[in-house]
Chain A
């Protein structure tokens, strides 16, 4: 063995130190790069067999550059990321609904409902007072507006989720695409034995992490270093390509009758619905289909209960025009988004039934003796048959001829009704003749009009706020009034939001903890790198000194030769 071998040992030492310094440089430069894992040079002493010593050192060899990363921790983090993404979306939805409902406050729906009930109390005090009647009408309008506005805001929020859903879909496609490309790069780069595509792997892990916050991610690495990704039981990134997803619209009818499109997600090729198990994508879809719809349903139950209860009571009472059977709200519009005052109330607040009524009795079929009265005296007096047949409910009279023809009520039509007196005056003898058999259907109130100063019915309406009308228990007894139902809804919103938030906080700190643990393994410590730099600088310096020494030794030999 000669001095040239010794020189070679020195050179390999220099090489190794330089490679180590390079890696240190790379580590320092990427100290703040997201997803970067620190690299380490693995050194190994090299030797050959020697007949005398058994083995003789040939210096140092760089075997590989290692990526220091805890893969198992990564998988756990990805799972937690999916759950966090899901909870984040739900939290946004809860917060948004909370902001829309704005409870408890002076101007939320509860306050408007309270004002509505209070206005009935005031009307009960001054039933003859036009301003008290207008106050009921206006407080009802304010309540209706609030119902509609709150409902519409939640509905609009649901529709506005189309945008993030589209964004998220695009992002998922981008990510799976990039991951597939990196898979190819890694498998190419690592085809030679021992080669490691460290930086591409760092990049791929970062992309998978991003993907895991969008959808749930299950990963398997194949023999070629390719990461096979499935989500919700569906293949997303396979060995031969990434599967694209796309949004598609489903028609939906809004509360105002407009049509809108609600986006869903499916695979572009198979058109099978894509249903991830967690992640932001799932969070957006669940916020829309579970959270929002629950609170919209609650508002609808509340609105329909108010409309039905108030109408039932209102129809019993007498209006200032001495009519009964007048609905307060439009009975056909019983949801929060559509509720409206009835036409009669819109026309005049005199149609508010403040005065006490008795019971509305439905006379389904009544055939007056003698049929249609003579032309000379065309008035059919229902009272002559039964003295209680008076105080007829508004627009409740239907007259049918024996051939089934239904006559029209109205001044220019077939007959007019005096509801208070219970008389029907026939006008149009061209359509029928005196003595024709008829059938009359009507509703009447068992008590007469008790005067403008009677506010008993208004008081009964005001009392509805406390009447249990919602949420039946097992034996069918209703357990909640409109007032308690709404505060319970708000309470439930708060509790669900808090539960979700605490889950979110737990996931957040879990991820932070795992990230910190990963950083302990793979993060760049500048102090450590500085130490390494000094270490390898010194060894470089020493190797150089060794080469100088060997060189001097060679010089000595050269001088001997001269």
Chain B
């Protein structure tokens, strides 16, 4: 004998199955609407956790990409600066060769000197190149310019430095360190960090006195020597004022290393320091070379001009070395960038595979489920209508 089936059993079964089918339909609809296979962790816990890891990785690749782009911009600025510097060095070298020729008169050397002075100023401007408001050659002290042209004066008091024979007069025949004197900086008064190490030839003057006969200047060390007692005596017991411009290398540490994280745990250097590009503070740097050339041309000193030639060559070489080091870094960033992009694409694809819905499959599932749901509705409606009551 068949088991008893009551009306309520049938109706609750039909309802259960309708709910179930509708629930499945709703699930596929949600996937289609959001485009995601995983809409919350319970949809597929393992994939959800994986997907979150991948998301974090993709985000990180985004950071690396920004780091690399930023570094490339930074190094691009350096490259074009150094490139211009190369051209200037070459032009300067030509002028130096021209000026070293003994056939030059003092005047023609002076005119060459004027031209070199223009190049010198351009060089100072180049050393102060910025990228996004930061001085690229200042190491990590990027808020300060590495080199600055300053104009001002030193007031040398009578009696300084102390001369045993006559304390009232400026000493004759010994070097006076200008930076030990009261230096007034026209840009920055009172000057704290005035350090007139490198005095720019052609700017130095003491009123009433003539360079070469009355006094001598060491442009590299910023020292002054009064040559003639007559000149000194002529000044009397008053103060002696020297007006001049000087090039100041910032006192702060300019050799800091600036890095970018370009891959997970891998940092690479982006900056070229002032020392790399223009030479150390002492021991013959690019500025020393230019000052010799300026002094030689403006003050008609052929030996200084000839001496500068070798130094300019060295500066050019230093500059080219810096440029090629920078170029090698650019190459490294370039190759890392393409690798990062590849990995980012790959990871994004992987994440999409895990998290995103396969539309073709979802649509076909949806259609199938819809057909099933419709069939269950139709069959349910018919099954519920039947009863013996209808036939009595």
Contacts and interface: CB of A to CB of B under 8 A. Distances in A.
Contacts of B4: 520-521, 523, 525, 528
Interface in B247-271: 252-253, 256, 258-261, 264-265, 267
A199 interface: no
A487 interface: yes
A453 B142 contact: yes
A512 interface: yes
Interface in A450-481: 450-456, 459, 462-463, 465-466
Contacts of B67: 121, 124-125
A355 interface: yes
B41 A453 contact: no
B114 to A, nearest CB: 36
Which of B4, B42, B256 has the most CB atoms of chain A within a 10 A radius of its CB?
A: B42
Given A118-B59, A121-B63, A495 B140 contact: no
A463 B259 CA distance: 14
Contacts of B253: 450-451
Nearest to B53: A487
A98 B41 contact: yes
Interface stretch (A103-111, A152-160, A259-267): A103-111
Contacts of A491: 41, 45-46, 48-49
A110 B387 CA distance: 59
**Chain A at the B interface: mostly helix, strand, loop or mixed?**
helix
B52 A519 contact: no
A111 B388 contact: no
A95 B49 CA distance: 17
A121 B65 CA distance: 11
A99 interface: yes
A114 B63 CA distance: 10
A454 B6 contact: no
B143 A453 contact: yes
B175 to A, nearest CB: 31
A486 B64 CA distance: 22
Contacts of B238: none
B141 interface: yes
Contacts of B142: 128, 451-453
B260 A125 contact: yes
B282 interface: no
B8 A114 contact: no
Given A450-B253, A451-B142, A456 B259 contact: yes
B42 A498 contact: yes
Interface stretch (B119-127, B131-139, B160-168, B217-225): B131-139
A530 interface: yes
Interface string A524-536: 1111101100100
B140 A494 contact: no
A345 B391 CA distance: 85
Contact of B6 (A117, A495, A525): A525
Given A104-B51, A530-B389, A465 B7 contact: no
B260 A104 contact: no
Contact of B38 (A104, A498, A501): A104
A355 B62 contact: no
B41 A124 contact: no
A481 B267 CA distance: 21
Nearest to B13: A516
A498 B45 contact: yes
A110 B52 contact: yes
Instruction: Name, among A462, A498, A519, the residue most crowded by chain B CB atoms within 10 Å (CB to CB).
Output: A519
B1 interface: no
Given A121-B67, A491-B48, A527-B388, A497 B41 contact: yes
A124 B261 CA distance: 9
B388 A453 contact: no
Question: Which 3 A-B pairs give the minimum distances between C-beta atoms?
Answer: A494-B45, A453-B142, A523-B6
7 contacts: A101-B41, A104-B38, A117-B63, A453-B143, A492-B45, A519-B9, A520-B5
Interface of A: 31-32, 94-95, 98-99, 101-104, 110-111, 114-115, 117-118, 121-122, 124-126, 128-129, 355, 450-456, 459, 462-463, 465-466, 483-484, 486-488, 490-495, 497-498, 501, 512, 515-516, 519-521, 523-528, 530-531, 534
Given A118-B59, A128-B134, A527-B388, 6 more contacts: A114-B60, A121-B261, A451-B143, A455-B259, A494-B40, A494-B42
Interface of B: 3-9, 12-13, 16, 38, 40-46, 48-53, 55-56, 59-60, 62-64, 66-67, 70-71, 132-134, 138-143, 252-253, 256, 258-261, 264-265, 267, 355, 387-389, 392
